[in-house]
Chains A and B, each alone.
Chain A
C-alpha cells in the first residue's frame, strides 16, 4: 500500500516524470505505484463499479470542454446486447496553439496513459483502443511504442488481461497534420482514413462512432487520471481540488514571462499563483495587458482576473473558458491587433471548409484585421468584425472550431477597442 508521502498523491500526473522527460520504464512506473489501478479494476471490481468510481470522482474532460467523463461513458450501450466491437480513442492531437501538456504526459510517462486507457476500456467493455497522435510528436510516438510492447509482454494489454476475461488491443495511430483532426467526430473520420470533416451529431459517437460502432473519445490528460482514481479512490481525487472541480490540472504559461513552462496544480488554484508563483511574473521590461486563459480559442481576460480560481465554471462566469489551461500572455510590447490577426490566420487556415461562416467568415475576418493592422482600416470594419463573430457563434456552425475562433476576436474588440481605433485614426500601427 502506498502512503501519503507518495508523490503521486499530490501530483498524480507528473509526480513521477523526470526533468529531462526520459520515459519511465515499466519497472520504474510499477515501483512508483503504476498499474495498481488496473490490477484493482481487473481483479476486484466490475466494469460498472469502475464507471461509478469515475463518475463519483467528478473527473471532467481535459480536452477543453470539461464534460464529465463518467457521464460520457454512461451514454455508451454496455449491456449484453450492446454492439461489438466497442472502441475507446485517446485524443492526443494537441494542436491548439499554446497547448503542450499531453506531450509531457506521453513523452515522460507513457505507461500512465496505457493504464488509464486499459481501466477505461474495462469500464466500457471496449475491446479495441487507439491513441490518435499528432504527426509531429515523434518522441512521444517512440516512447508510446516501446511502452506498448512492454505492456503487452507483461500482460497489461492483449488477451485475458491479468488473468481476467477482459481483453484489449491498443494501437497507436499517427496523424498527418490539420488542427480539425482534434474535433472528436473529425478525428473518427480521420481514423477511418478519410478527410477530417466533422460529422453531424446526433448520433453521438458513444452510440455510432468509429466504423459505426459505439465509441468513446477522451483527451489524453483525462485518461491519464483514470488509473489513479481507481487506485486511490474518488474521494481522494475530489479532495485534490481547491474549489468545485476535482483533481489537479496541468497548467501552462507562454509569452514574455520569467519562466515559461508547465506545472501540475490543484484545480481551483488562483491564476495569479500560476502566473507569479510558477512563471515568476512578467520578464523585465514587459507588463501584462491580458491573456488567453485556455489556449488560442478562448476569450481574453485582463490582469484584474488574475485572482480568479482556475476552474471551469469560475472562468466561464468571467466570460472565457478554462480550455486547456495554458495561459497565452499579451504584453505591452505586442500589438493586440496583430496578435488577433495571427490567431485568426491560424483558424482560417485550419478551417475544414464545411460550413460558410467558418470557411468564408474567417478569411474575411483575417483580411479586415490585416487592413486595420496596416493602418488602412475604417470604423465600419470593426462592426463587420463583430458581425462575423456573431455568425460564428455556437449553433451556427457544424463544429466548435468557428465559435472558438470568434472568442479572441470578440474579446479583443471588447477589451482592446481603443487599440483598434488608434490604428484606424492614426493610419498606422502604434507598435511599429
Chain B
C-alpha cells in the first residue's frame, strides 16, 4: 500500500522522547504494565501507528510479555496496528448522527476520496474510518479529523474541510451533490 510513513524496516527501539513520555506515565502506577495504553498512544503519536517492532520495544520497556501487549493493542480501536494515511477521518455512525444523515455523509466522503470506510487513499493522504458516538450528539452529524471534532457537518462543509487540510488535492466528482 502506498504510504509515505511506512518505513522500510521495522524500528525496534523507542526514541528518547518516547521513553521520557512513557516513563512519566509509569510513575502514576505501582506497576509499569499499567502504562501500556498510554505507552501505545505515545508510540502512535510519534509514528502514526504501532508496528510489531514497536510492540516488542514497548513490551520490553514496560517489562511485560509481548503477547499480552499485543492483546491489549488489538483490543482498543484507537490503537492502529496498520499504517494509516496522513489524515484520519472518523465519522460517527451512532444513533443520533445516523438519524441526522451520517450514512450519506460517509458515502459522500468516500466518493470524494475514492475510498470505502476502512481504506486509505492511493496517495496515502486520507484514511476513512467509522467511529462510535463522539459525545457531541447535539451537533450531529459529527466527525473527527486528526483528533479534532467537527459538528453539523454537511457535504459542503466537508469539502471545505478537506481542501483546508490538503489544498492541492483533486476532489472526485460525486453524484450525491
A contact residues vs B (CB 8 Å cutoff): 94-100, 102-103, 130, 134-138, 171, 173-179, 190-196, 211, 252-256, 260-262, 296, 326, 328-329, 331, 334, 339, 342-343, 345-346, 349-350
Contact = CB atoms under 8 A, between A and B. Distances in A.
A110 to B, nearest CB: 16
Contacts of B35: 193
Nearest to A197: B75
Nearest to A349: B132
25 contacts: A94-B135, A97-B95, A97-B96, A98-B137, A99-B135, A100-B135, A100-B137, A135-B78, A136-B135, A176-B77, A177-B76, A178-B75, A193-B31, A194-B68, A195-B72, A253-B138, A255-B99, A260-B139, A262-B138, A296-B133, A334-B99, A339-B98, A339-B99, A342-B98, A343-B95
Contacts of B93: 342, 345
Contacts of A176: 37, 40-41, 76-79
A37 to B, nearest CB: 26
Contacts of B98: 339, 342
Contacts of A195: 71-72, 75
B136 A196 contact: no
Nearest to B90: A136
Given A179-B132, A195-B71, A173 B38 contact: yes
Contacts of B68: 194
Given A99-B133, A136-B149, A342 B95 contact: yes
A254 B140 contact: yes
Interface in B52-85: 62, 64, 68, 71-72, 75-79
B132 A95 contact: yes
A386 to B, nearest CB: 21
A254 B77 CA distance: 26
A95 B41 contact: no
B147 A138 contact: yes
Given A136-B134, A192-B29, A296-B94, 17 more contacts: A97-B95, A97-B96, A98-B94, A99-B133, A103-B136, A135-B41, A173-B28, A173-B38, A176-B79, A192-B33, A192-B34, A193-B35, A194-B68, A195-B71, A196-B75, A255-B99, A328-B99
Given A97-B137, A98-B133, A190 B99 contact: no
A135, A262, A329 — most chain B CB neighbours (10 Å)? A135
A135 B135 CA distance: 11
B132 A211 contact: no
B94 A346 contact: yes
Contacts of B113: none
Contacts of B41: 135, 174, 176
Contact of A260 (B34, B36, B137): B137
Interface centre among A134, A256, A262 (most CB of B within 10 A): A134
A15 B144 CA distance: 29
Interface in B127-166: 131-140, 144, 147-149
A87 to B, nearest CB: 11
B30 A211 contact: yes
A130 B35 CA distance: 13
A190 B40 CA distance: 13
Nearest to A253: B138
Given A97-B133, A171-B28, A255 B149 contact: no
A339 B75 CA distance: 27
A175 B31 contact: no
A95 B78 contact: no
B138 A328 contact: no
A116 B121 CA distance: 47
Contacts of B139: 260
Contacts of A342: 93-95, 98
A350 B132 contact: yes
Contact of A98 (B33, B40, B62, B96): B96
A252 B95 contact: no
A45 to B, nearest CB: 29
Nearest to B139: A260
A313 B119 CA distance: 47
A135 to B, nearest CB: 5
B67 to A, nearest CB: 12
B37 A193 contact: yes
A170 B35 CA distance: 16
Contacts of A95: 132-133, 135
Contacts of B29: 192-193, 211
Tell which of B76, B131, B132, B149 has the most Cβ of chain A within 10 Å: B132
Nearest to B39: A193
Contacts of B36: 193-194
A254 B96 contact: yes
